Amino acid sequence: MSLKFNIELSYPNFTLDCQHDLNLDGITGILGHSGSGKTSLLRIIAGLNRHATGSISLKDTDLQDSANKHFIKPELRDIGFVFQDARLFPHLNVLGNLEFAAKRCPSSTLTIDEVIELTQIKHLAVQHVELLSAGEKQRVALARALLAEPKLLLLDEPLSALDNKARSAMVNLLRTIHQRLNLPMIYVSHSIIEIQQLADEVLVMENGKIVQHGHVHQVINNLNANISDEFSTQTSLTLKVKQHLINFGLTQLDFEAPSSGQVNLYSNLQPQALNSSLRCYILASDISISREEPAMSSIMNSLAGKITDITRLNKNAALVKVDILNHIFSVNITRYSVERLRLAKDDNVFIQFKASAIRSY
Amino acid sequence: MENYNEWLALATTLKLAAITTIILLIIGTPLAWYLSKIKSRFKVLLEALVALPLVLPPTVLGFYLLILFSPTSMPGKFFQDVTGSSLAFSFTGILIGSVIYSLPFVVQPLQKAFEQLGDNLSEAGSMLGAKGLDRFFNITVPMTKASFLTAASLGFAHTVGEFGVVLMIGGNIPGETRVLSIALFDHVEALNYSTAHWLAASLLVASVAMLALIYLLNFQSEKKVKARGII
């Protein structure tokens, strides 16, 4: 399924101007600072902002075409929306909120019971919505949105009010739902962590424009360090669990894409099921470079690759990009080391990092 | 006989107030909704027009209505041609007067409630496939229930207490336009103080009871909201 849009929206101090063709097979992330226009874009796709001009089409349906004065109302777009502030109906209890959606859904492929089960909110059914915690509210909002059986689900920073524990539970839930229902999602967030964990394709927005798009790891690897406070330069990867070394508390991992060749990586992340995929990252400051293959080292991970780029970060530090089987690793070293090792583009080098450097959110 | 007339005045008053309130809810609700949504300069003018009965002496409103209702004016003539009777000094006449006179008491609380509620929940409803009227009756109305109650009570009470407009356009026809406040005025003019006392006291008690009920309902719904907020 594809979503095409070419839209413009002007406010006195802000102009949104976006055009893109999205392939909605996976979860699409929209990343940007607050005020970058990502929520506006989402609202325009939903039909909640009528002031925008341009065209939007979902699959074969034209949702909006300003040139021909065509505009489909939000309630007829078959698009679901999970708002940042949940927006549960306070005059109804949890079940009432779910029934509100179910009653208005013409098809009934999903039953309320199934969705309650899926989103794990059985214990909340008769609760008053204002007594719920932020995490519970978002679960109910998600369940309610699912019961409308949309063709596309839009999520506007649904995790921003949640604590870390509720956040990671919700990330897992969203992933499960995406797989189980095969429901395309567009997920808006200012948090690279959430985007890294959830998204397959990513759009990066700045000042009302899409400034970058591509596969999640590629986009994150390209981001410069100042996009977000929580973000430091990192290598973002999806790795596959190959083997558990139970006695040592280590997990052996490999790149996910089969074409890229095999490596053995060791991590001490919590054991996951064999062959399952793991979204991980390695901080640039946790990786070192050497000219020769390191022997007899306590550092578990050592990979051979080629330097593709060296950038001076400041007076003392440099960022070196190393290509390992088509995966670009970002390495942060001192400029002194760059000089001492005489590193240059296209040089063959080895990178090294400890098992504990492979992290996951 | 004397007593019968007072009961008739009470019945006329209650009938007038009840029908006025129903009409006001029917026309006041969309008007309040419209006022809560529009953002143009036109809004200020419309708001001023709605609020006019609050500041205008009832006799001024009554005077202009009387002129409009007279068979020599267009609306008055039209009414007479269609129904065969005069609009002035009729129940329909004072009903129209009451609706205009009590309009702000119904529109203003509703408008305020709609503005406070905002669009958030309605947007959530539309993303679940609910259309306009569906959203209004199943989200907006239940969320602003208390304000509807306030608006209806204020509209009703204000109509019961109306005097100047009725006096100007209705006169004093028993069973048609003679309402309680007019009856009271009558008795005072006739120096019939004991009946006047009775009427005045019952109007006072009824008004206090009515207002107390409104505030009680508001207080309870506020308490409910607060209780939810604290936990």
Where are the domains positioned within chain B? 2-224
Do residue A221 and residue A240 come from a single domain?
no
| Res. B231: pLDDT tops 70 | no
Pick among A42, A100, A127, A149 to test the B interface (most B CBs inside 10 A): A100
pTM: 0.83
What does the angle CA B208 – CA B214 – CA B215 come to, to the nearest 5 degrees? 90
pLDDT tier, B1 (very low <50, low <70, confident <90, very high otherwise): very low
Cβ within 8 Å, pair A148-B128: yes
Annotate A16-38 with DSSP letters as a single string.
EEEEEEEE-SSEEEEEE-TTSSH
- Which ipTM value was assigned to this complex? 0.82
CB atoms A130 and B228 under 8 Å: yes
CA distance A268 to B128: 44
CA geometry: angle B78, B84, B85, nearest 5 deg: 90
Q: Which of B130, B138, B143 minimises the CB distance to A75?
A: B130
**Do residues A340 and A290 touch, judged by C-beta distance below 8 A?**
no
The last residue of a domain, from among A174, A197, A226 = A226
**What is the rounded average pLDDT for all residues in chain A?**
90
CA distance A308 to A321: 6
Q: How confident is the model at residue A64 (pLDDT cuts 50, 70, 90)?
A: very high
Q: How many domains does chain A have?
A: 2
Tell me how close the Cα of B107 comes to any Cα of chain A, in angstroms.
23
- Residue A271: which CATH number? 2.40.50.100
What percentage of chain B carries pLDDT values higher than 90? 48
Same domain, A77 and A126: yes
Domain range enclosing A293: 234-360
CATH architecture of B2-224: Orthogonal Bundle (1.10)
Q: Are A75 and A137 within one domain? A: yes
Inspect the interface and report whether the beta carbons of B127 and A79 lie closer than 8 Å: yes
Region A239-265 average pLDDT = 83
Q: What is the mean pLDDT of residues A272-278?
A: 83
The residue type at A162: L
Q: Which residues of chain B are at the A interface, by a Cβ-Cβ cutoff of 8 Å?
A: 120-121, 123-131, 134, 138-139, 142-143, 228-229, 231
Tell me the shortest Cα–Cα distance from B226 to chain A, in angstroms.
11
Domain finish residue from A226, A246, A269:
A226
Q: Are A255 and A237 in contact (CB under 8 A)?
A: yes
A194 and A299 share one domain: no
A109, burial (CB in 10 Å: exposed 0-12, middle 13-18, buried 19+):
exposed
Q: Give the pLDDT mean for B157-163.
A: 89
A92 with A21, same domain: the answer is yes
How far is residue B109 from each of residues A78, A291, B29, B44, B142, measured CA to CA in Å? 35, 78, 10, 16, 15
pLDDT confidence of residue B228: 55
In a mutagenesis test of the A interface, which of B127, B144, B222, B226 is the best target, namely the one with the most A β-carbons within 10 Å? B127
CB spacing of B126 vs A48 below 8 angstroms = yes
What mean pLDDT do residues A140-167 have?
92
Residue of B123, B128, B133 for testing the chain A interface, max A β-carbons within 10 Å: B128
Supply the CATH number for residue A33's domain. 3.40.50.300
Asked whether the beta carbons of residue A100 and residue B143 sit closer than 8 angstroms, the reply is no
Neighbours of A194 (CB within 10 A): 25
Give the span between the Cα atoms of B30 and B107, in whole angstroms. 9
Q: What is the pLDDT of residues A184-225, one digit of tens each?
A: 999 999 988 889 989 999 999 999 999 999 999 888 887 755
Q: Which residue of chain A has the CA closest to B226?
A: A130
